[in-house]
Structure 1
């Protein structure tokens, strides 16, 4: 049986010349610092109203600016990659023509599957609590929103499935290490998206599984295109269709639920034993599995 990850050897080859562990630790620490400080610095250069919208992230403008601001961390990553590892942007991506083709194939296939899931039945038609925003304005903003999401997911994939996966694979040939460690870190960082321990655990497990799916696709194709396509389709459906009014990153959703105070919701650790939360977690895991299978069919690997 042929190795399904044979393309991975060529993908990690640019990382071989400079693969010291201390450089990886330094890179991750510095990128984390840039990511933490960039919102503060960016906010200082914005007018008062724009600053408030950016920090809140509840309007279309604020949400877009939050996503586009990932480019600062992405730029920092590329500069540090040159300084610490003496290689450039495309060494993280792989073959650019193959990556672009895989991004389109996987993004389209996963997007189609998610659209079919959303239509059976469409939540907007069966849930009276949902309010639909202006469709014309949403359609006008859609290309810009997709570009902003591409910046966001592209930056994350460059760091976790590009840089970290490549460097970990050069340090050890053990697949569990270069697949699991970047995915576990990716998941752990998403814990802070939750409103409490239980919500954070659900976020972390979901993001970790998504990371594993993206790591697998990257190893199968030898480029980041498929991983970016899957990640982009997932985030587009998660952020551009439904949201809770006035919650973070809700400004681009077409349909919104009435506002709920997160502080009034019970997300204590004990809630992880709640059957409803268990079902939610299993549903998200199944969601990732379906997306991964759709991506596998799209790339025929």
Structure 2
């Protein structure tokens, strides 16, 4: 029987020469520190108008700044890599041309599936309460928005499915180590995206499932292309199509729902037992599965 992860051995090979656990822990600490402190630095460096837009993240400019700011942590990772592990950027990616080819294949496949779903009834954009922004302006901003999202998802994939997956796979052959642990960590860091315990937990579980899908694709292909493609397609549809007015990262969406104060909504753990919330959580998990299957078909593995 063929090993579906046979390409993974070549992918992790650059991490073998320097694989001390203290180096991995140091990298996790330093990259997380850069990620936490970079918004503070940007707030201090940006002029008043840009700073306010960045903090709010509700305008197109502010949303773009938020997405591009992920690149600071990415640069930190790339800068620390030769210091701690004596290797460079492309060792995280796993083959430049192959990664680019898989990225394009998966973006098109997953994007097409999501587009078909969007066209099926009930159509959210047919709701009379939904406002549609100027299409011309949205199309002009679309390439920049996709580039900003590529910086965002690329940074996350370089760290979680590149660096961590490679280094942990050298320390243990167990999939719990190199596949599950980075995905759970990825999910846990998304808990803060929620407005309360229940919302945060749904965010965390969904992100962990997405992380598992990306880890699997990386192991199957031996590069980050498919994982970045899946992540990019997901975030593009989530952030460039729909948003709630004046909510964070809402500045690039084409369709905007009326503002709703999240403070008045119930996000306590008790709401996890609400049937509508259960259906929402199961639906999110189902769509991760659908996107993963679409990516698998695209890469033919």
| d(CA) in 1 for partners of 2:183, 2:20 | 21
Q: 2 CA distance for matches of 1:187 and 1:232?
A: 17
Partner of 1:229: 229
Q: In structure 2, what is the equivalent of residue 281 of structure 1?
A: 281
CA distance in 2, matches of 1:68, 1:238: 17
Question: What's the CA shift for 1:55?
Answer: 0.5
Residue 70 (structure 2) pairs with residue 88 (structure 1): no
| Residue-pair matches, total | 300
Q: Which residue matches 1:2?
A: 2
Match of 1:167 in 2: 167
For residues 116-156 of structure 1, what are the alpha-carbon distances to aligned partners after superposition, in whole Å with 9 as ceiling and x for unaligned? 0011023112x111100111000000000000000000000
Partner residue, 2:259? 259
Q: For each residue in 1:37-61, what CA deviation from the matched residue of structure 2 results, as whole angstroms up to 9, or x when unmatched?
A: 1111112111101100000100000
Partner Cα separation in structure 1 for residue 176 and residue 119 of structure 2: 37
Unaligned runs of 5+ residues in structure 1 are none
In the alignment, which residue of structure 1 is the partner of 2:124? Answer: 123
Question: Secondary structure, in 3 states, of the residue corresponding to 1:243?
Answer: strand
Alignment of 1:99-248 (within 5 A): 99-121=99-121, 122-125=123-126, 127-248=127-248
CA distance in 1, matches of 2:60, 2:263: 24
- Give the drift of 1:177: 1.8
How many Å apart are 1:65 and its aligned residue?
0.4
Q: Aligned Cα RMSD in Å?
A: 0.5
1:280 & 1:94 partners in 2: Cα distance? 36
Question: Any unmatched runs of 5+ in structure 2?
Answer: none
SS at match of 1:6: coil
Distance 1:45 1:20 in 2: 36
Quote how far apart the aligned CAs of 1:176 are: 2.5
User: Partners of 1:46 and 1:156 in 2: how far apart?
Assistant: 24
Tell me how far 1:239 sits from its aligned partner: 0.2
Q: Deviations 1:78-97 (Å, cap 9, x if unpaired)? A: 01111100100000000110
- Asked if 1:296 corresponds to 2:296, the answer is yes
Q: Distance in 1 between matches of 2:266 and 2:282?
A: 19
Mapping 1:13-92, distance limit 5 Å = 13-92=13-92
Q: Secondary structure at the match of 1:99?
A: helix
Secondary structure of the 1:267 match is coil
